[in-house]
């Protein structure tokens, strides 16, 4: 069997078992209707899918088998071929085959993904293009048309257009240029033309008979992100809860400024929501936040620059609980979560990330998470937890917890991250360094030994010198070193 035939059978089985259900990748047909425009829409939808899709003749709308005659099969193949060639722009490629499901033959039409998308109905504009959604064929939105075009042309998300048909006054009104010039440490030009020229150099705006603001310009320096319809859902949300669960949200804030223009305000808002401990130095009392600000800054910046903008309806979210902060960004991590500390980050949005580094919102490549771990240890907090979710990346920063209250997983995670931090600092973890990490007294060194033993059993760390029989002078490395 050909690869597409195997895929077709897999999707058919998935659509029929354990009970019939419609899929985006496959559509059942009992017969070919003479309403060719509707069938053209189906072909458009499947050719606009990344891997194409399948139209199956021989099953009715309920997924029940219905045999079709050989003469009808020949007629269907001829008619579908004509529609694919003459009713769509650009024309699309199809393949067909007679396959069997439980010894019942059926006609499978494979609609290949088009190299040039969106595929639309011939004689109409590109907005008469279609997609599959929830097992149905529907007309696509203007935003989805733009996304398909950019994918075909290999245009980065930052280069896409956030707002069209603008003049210079619109640019001045929509972009926070004052913040931009302050952050790059340049004097504000005396003329409007000078401001526009600099924004154009940064690719925040482009000119082609009229001005347009790119996604990069809007995301970084929007005065009000709500003025940009298709990116307003990318604003950062902060939710503060009472207690340790999500039952009672006490406060919620959604940013309106661009990421760069609003970053300091965002961090100040988060810091102001955090609990503090009162400490006494000499005769003065002052409050100290229980989380290191540098760690929060770095983790929020990382979430912003590493998010997957192609996931619609999702944004960077910071959730503050009584005992932790959870920072979530859309998109799975591009590197192993256990290698965040030592690996150079890979960003989906390198232009955005580069600017954020340039204005010192986040650290240079590979040093940000090191700083997070260093400051977490300095504040004697449990090790942060990095989690790969189905379609997101989450980091949990925990408030202070006594060693005796830490779980086995907490201790192993802290030990592993400590070993990683030592390694990137060209040092090695030892019993002594673990005692310093957890503030364990020298006389209680067996406690540190048990933590190391737990991490060794979990295979997150390894003995730096296995031939050394002396535990007193033993040193350890992360498993990958």
Coil, strand or helix at 152 = helix
Q: What is the pLDDT of residue 281?
A: 53
DSSP letters, 327-394, are: EEEES--SS-GGGTTTSPP--S-HHHHHHHHHTTSSPSTTTHHHHHHHHHHHTTPPPPEEEE-SSEEE
> Residue 397 pairs with which residues in a beta bridge?
325
Q: What is the pLDDT of residue 184?
A: 95
Distance, in Å, from the CA atom of 66 to the CA atom of 83, rounded to the nearest integer, reads 24
- Cα angle 461, 465, 468; round to 5: 125
Coil, strand or helix at 183 = helix
Distance, in Å, from the CA atom of 464 to the CA atom of 126, rounded to the nearest integer, reads 62
Q: What is the pLDDT of residue 364?
A: 61
Coil, strand or helix at 107 = strand
Question: Is there a contact between 114 and 95 (Cβ–Cβ < 8 Å)?
Answer: no
Q: What is the pLDDT of residue 170?
A: 96
Helix crossing, 259-273 with 293-305: angle to 10°? 140
Q: State the average pLDDT for the chain.
A: 90
Beta strands in 37-134 (DSSP E): 53-57, 88-89, 94-101, 104-111, 120-121, 130-133
> Residue length, the chain?
481
Q: What is the pLDDT of residue 208?
A: 83
Q: What is the pLDDT of residue 469?
A: 73
Question: Is there a contact between 256 and 224 (Cβ–Cβ < 8 Å)?
Answer: yes
- 374: which residues sit within 8 A by CB, 6+ positions away? 421
Let me know how many helices (H) and strands (E) the chain has, helices first.
15, 22
The full set of domains in the chain, from first to last, is 3-141 (3.30.950.30), 156-230 (no CATH), 235-401 (3.30.565.60), 403-481 (1.10.10)
Structure tokens, 12: 């058919």
The DSSP call for residue 135 is T
Would you tell me how many other CB atoms lie within 10 Å of the CB of residue 387? Answer: 13
The DSSP call for residue 156 is -
- 124: which residues sit within 8 A by CB, 6+ positions away? none
Q: What is the pLDDT of residue 458?
A: 93
E strand or H helix that includes residue 302? helix 293-305
Radius of gyration of the chain from its Cα atoms, rounded to whole angstroms: 29
Q: What is the pLDDT of residue 278?
A: 58
Distance, in Å, from the CA atom of 109 to the CA atom of 127, rounded to the nearest integer, reads 25
Q: What is the pLDDT of residue 373?
A: 94
Question: Is there a contact between 268 and 255 (Cβ–Cβ < 8 Å)?
Answer: no
Distance, in Å, from the CA atom of 463 to the CA atom of 476, rounded to the nearest integer, reads 5
Nearest to 357 by CA among 446, 211, 468, 259: 259
Distance, in Å, from the CA atom of 406 to the CA atom of 471, rounded to the nearest integer, reads 25
Q: What is the pLDDT of residue 159?
A: 86
Would you tell me how many other CB atoms lie within 10 Å of the CB of residue 88? Answer: 20
Q: Tell whether omega for the bond before 201 is within 30 degrees of 0, i.e. cis.
A: no
Structure tokens, 73: 């099969």
Structure tokens, 449: 């030994």
Structure tokens, 250: 């006490």
Burial 232-252 (b: 16+ CB within 10 A, else e): bebbbebbbbeeeeeeeeeee
Question: Is there a contact between 94 and 81 (Cβ–Cβ < 8 Å)?
Answer: yes
> Residue 446 pairs with which residues in a beta bridge?
none
Question: Is there a contact between 168 and 205 (Cβ–Cβ < 8 Å)?
Answer: no
Structure tokens, 345: 């980050």
**Spans in the chain with pLDDT lower than 70:** 153-155, 277-287, 364-366
- Cα angle 373, 379, 384; round to 5: 40
Question: Is there a contact between 275 and 290 (Cβ–Cβ < 8 Å)?
Answer: yes
């Amino acid at each position: 069997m050909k690869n597409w035939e195997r895929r077709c059978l897999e999707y058919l089985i998935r659509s029929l078992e354990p009970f019939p259900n419609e899929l985006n990748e496959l559509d059942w047909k009992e017969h070919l209707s003479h309403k060719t425009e509707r069938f053209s829409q189906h072909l458009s939808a499947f050719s606009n899918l990344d891997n194409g899709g399948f139209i199956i003749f021989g099953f009715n709308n309920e997924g029940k088998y219905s045999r079709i005659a050989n003469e009808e099969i020949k007629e269907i193949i001829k008619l579908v071929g004509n529609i694919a060639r003459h009713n769509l722009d650009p024309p699309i490629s199809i393949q067909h085959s007679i396959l069997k499901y439980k010894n019942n033959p059926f006609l499978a039409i494979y609609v290949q993904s088009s190299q040039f998308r969106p595929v639309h109905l011939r004689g109409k504009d590109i907005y008469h293009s279609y997609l599959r959604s929830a097992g149905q064929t529907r007309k696509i939105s203007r935003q989805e048309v733009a996304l398909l075009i950019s994918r075909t042309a290999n245009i980065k998300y930052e280069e896409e257009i956030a707002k069209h048909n603008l003049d210079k006054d619109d640019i001045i009104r929509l972009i926070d240029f004052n913040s931009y010039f302050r952050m790059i440490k340049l004097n504000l030009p005396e003329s409007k033309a000078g401001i526009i020229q600099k924004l154009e150099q940064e690719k925040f705006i482009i000119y082609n008979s009229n001005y347009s603001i790119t996604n990069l310009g809007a995301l970084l320096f929007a005065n009000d992100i709500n003025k940009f319809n298709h990116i307003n859902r990318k604003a950062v949300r902060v939710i503060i809860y009472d207690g340790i669960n999500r039952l009672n949200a006490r406060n919620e804030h959604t940013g309106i400024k661009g990421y760069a223009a609003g970053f300091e305000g965002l961090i100040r808002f988060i810091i102001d929501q955090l609990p503090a401990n009162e400490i006494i130095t000499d005769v003065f009392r002052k409050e100290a936040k229980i989380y290191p600000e540098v760690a929060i800054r770095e983790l929020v910046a990382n979430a912003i620059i590493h998010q997957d903008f192609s996931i619609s309806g999702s944004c960077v979210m910071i959730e503050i609980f009584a005992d932790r902060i959870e920072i979530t960004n859309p998109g799975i991590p591009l590197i192993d979560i256990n290698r965040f500390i030592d690996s150079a980050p890979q960003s989906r949005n390198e232009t955005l990330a580069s600017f954020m580094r340039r204005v010192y919102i986040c650290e240079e490549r590979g040093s940000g998470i090191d700083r997070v771990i260093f400051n977490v240890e300095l504040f004697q907090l449990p090790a942060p937890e990095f989690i790969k979710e189905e379609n997101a990346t989450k980091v949990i920063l925990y408030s202070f917890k006594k060693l005796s209250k830490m779980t086995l997983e907490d201790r192993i995670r802290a030990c592993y991250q400590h070993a990683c931090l030592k390694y990137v600092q060209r040092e090695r973890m030892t019993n002594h360094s673990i005692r310093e990490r957890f503030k364990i007294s020298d006389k209680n060194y067996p406690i540190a030994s048990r933590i190391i033993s737990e991490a060794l059993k979990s295979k997150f760390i390894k003995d730096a010198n296995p031939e050394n029989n002396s535990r007193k002078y033993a040193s350890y490395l992360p498993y990958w070193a």
